[in-house]
Amino acid sequence: MKHIFMDVVETLEKWDTYYRYSSRKHDVLRGFLPESYKKLRDAKEIQRCIITSKELKTMKEKENKLNREMRAIPEDYDLFDDNIGKIIYGNKVAIIDYNTSTSFIIENKKFAEFEKKIFLLLYRYLRK
Q: What is the CATH number of the domain that holds 112?
A: 3.30.870.10
Query: Torsions phi, psi of 103, nearest 5?
Result: -155, 155
- Three-state DSSP class for 97? strand
What sign does the dihedral 1-100-91-89 (CA atoms) show? Answer: negative
Number of domains comprising the chain: 1
Structural contact between residues 115 and 59, judged by C-beta atoms closer than 8 angstroms: no
Structural domain boundaries enclosing 73: 2-125
Q: What is the pLDDT of residue 31?
A: 67
pLDDT of residue 59: 56
Instruction: List, for residues 30-73, the tens digit of each pLDDT value.
Output: 567 788 998 999 999 999 999 988 776 665 555 555 577 888 88
Closest by alpha carbon to 49, among 88, 92, 107? 88
Gap between the Cα atoms of 43 and 50, Å rounded = 20
How far is it, in rounded angstroms, from Cα 59 to Cα 91?
A: 30
Asked whether 73 and 52 are in contact (CB, 8 A), the reply is yes
